[in-house]
Every structure is written in C-alpha cells, then in structure tokens.
Amino acid sequence: MAYLYVLSGPGKGRSFRLREGENYIGRAIDNDIRIEDKTLSRKHARIVLKGSRFFITDLKSENRTFFDSAYLEPGSQVELKAGVPIALGTTIVTVSLSETDDGQMTSFSETVKLSRADIEKASELAERRDEAEEKRLQLLREASDLLISGISIHDALEKILQSITEELNRVDRAAILLTDPLTGEIEETVLGPRVPRHEKTAPYSTKVVERVIAVKRPVMISNTKTEEGDIADTLKVLKVQCVLCSPMIFASRLAGVIYLDSVRRPYGFREDDLALLMEIGQQIALAVEKARFVSDISKVAESLVPDEE
C-alpha cells in the first residue's frame, strides 16, 4: 500500500491512499486527493505510482511545488523519495509505501522545519531570479524598440550599450563591432559609455574579437588568471580580469560582435548574461541586415536611367 501524509497545513495529520497510476492533488472537489488550502491550485499536482516508485508533476500551479531544495519546473516529471517533504503551496506532505506510525510521523514532522527553511531560502532566490529576468526582458524590449524606432543604427547601438552597461554593472568596457558580411572585416565600432574616447589603442581585445568573428561562436572567460592559452595570455597583458564576446548572427550571416570586459574583477559574467547577449545580437543582426538591404535598393534605384519615352 502507498500513502500520502499531510505533515503541515490545514489538513495536518490526514493520510490518503495512493492508487497505482495517476493521483491528482488540489483544492477542487474532483481531485483524487482534495486538500482545502487556499494556497493550492484547483489542480495543483499529479503523483504517479508505478510499483514502488513515486513520480510528481507540477500542473502549472500558482504557488508551485517544492521538493528536494528546489521548485519543480511545471510539466516536468520528477521522482519522489519516500519520507522527503513536498511543499504544495504552504501545505507540506510526504509519501510512503506503508502506513506510518507515530514515531515516523514525529520524524517526518522534524524535517518540516528544515523544509520550510529551504522553501523560504528558495523563495528568496526565486524572487531575485524573477526580478532579474524581468529586467532582462525589459532590456530586450528596449533594444527591439530602439532598432525599429527610425533613428540611425549607430545611435540605436549606443543606446543599447548604455542599457547593457546599466543592467550588467560589472562591465567596464563595452563595444559593438559591425563587420562586412563578405570579408568579415570590421566596418564600424560603437563604444559603450564607460570607454574613454581618447585612447589610441583599441578599447577591446582584438584577439578575442578576431576569434569570435572567425569561429562565429562566443568566448567567455570568467577569470583570466586561472586560464591558459594565447587569448588568456593576451588578456593578462591587457589587465582584463574577465571577458564576454558574442557573435551577432541572423540567418547564418555574421553582422558583427558584442564585446564586454571587466578590468576591475573576475567572475563578472554568467551564462544567462551570454544568453542575453545572444538574443540582443540576433535583433541587431536582423536590423543591420534590413538597413543594408534598404541601402542597396536605394543605390540601385539611383543608378537607374529614367525612360524618356
């Protein structure tokens, strides 16, 4: 026999028998297991019993499902461990393959304290992640709006670099380099707001930029002091602590690169920063491609000889 036990919440102390196959849990009356807790969704989760194994799926619930120190991804099936607390909203339950005696219930209840601490910690982290994700989405929207606003590509790119620098405050130097689609040579360089305009040397690592242009893949080095190789050696000479450079590609055509670095501290960039640059880069590549197309059409139109008949 398999059971679900309510360890904390409105139904504390109750137990429900789990049948082989699917068992739906939620606030609505048509669930196999109904728990009258306002923090549960009407159809909150599904537990599947397969022999002696338990699997749970969060059904896109409002307050989510927490298990094994993390929130479950909605729609993804995860195997449960008997006796380990599961948080459905603010109700905490566990599953077992046998009827639980008072001693086991006491042991389970002790784990609830730890589980609640984990939930609170994970909630704080999730809120921070959600807040950061919203800022990044806003940055993507701003970039998209700028690129279709009618201002010049150069001015739009300057404003995009301003937004990137404000969002990723670890950035010291930022640049967008546009390349010729046929030769790969750099045609135009747009500098970020923190880059001095009077420097004679390029305010970026040419070796990093050349590598990204050549292979059309990003380069991210978190700490140049712990890396080896020709690129890392060059960055050490330039006193660059970390670097992130991403290609701008649309329809397999390279439009240029976005370059960021920090000379103040290492570990300035994360994988989600790279994902952000890749998305912005794709938007820029599309805008550049359209601008070039319009320019080419205009040149063709100017070269046409009018028909005098």
The pLDDT score that the predictor gives to residue 297 is 57
CATH superfamily ID and name for 133-295: GAF domain (3.30.450.40)
Can you point out the beta strands (E) in the chain? 2-8, 15-18, 21-26, 33-34, 45-50, 53-58, 65-67, 70-71, 77-79, 86-88, 91-96, 173-179, 186-191, 219-221, 242-250, 253-262
The pLDDT score that the predictor gives to residue 101 is 44
Radius of gyration of the chain (CA): 28
The pLDDT score that the predictor gives to residue 106 is 42
The pLDDT score that the predictor gives to residue 188 is 92
Q: In tens digits, what is the pLDDT along the chain, a chain of 309 residues?
A: 899 998 888 888 889 999 999 999 999 999 999 999 888 999 999 999 999 999 999 999 988 888 887 789 999 999 998 888 888 888 888 898 876 544 444 444 444 554 555 556 555 655 665 666 777 788 888 888 888 888 889 999 999 999 999 888 889 999 999 999 888 899 999 999 888 777 677 889 999 999 999 999 999 998 998 888 899 899 999 999 999 999 999 878 899 999 999 998 888 888 888 888 998 999 999 888 887 766 555 555 565 555 555
The pLDDT score that the predictor gives to residue 1 is 81
The pLDDT score that the predictor gives to residue 200 is 72
Q: Which CATH class is domain 2-97?
A: mainly beta
DSSP string, 277-308: HHHHHHHHHHHHHHHHHHHHHHHHHHHPPPP-
Of 192, 185, 184, 298, whose CA–CA distance to 244 is shortest? 192
Q: Where are the domains of the chain?
A: 2-97, 133-295
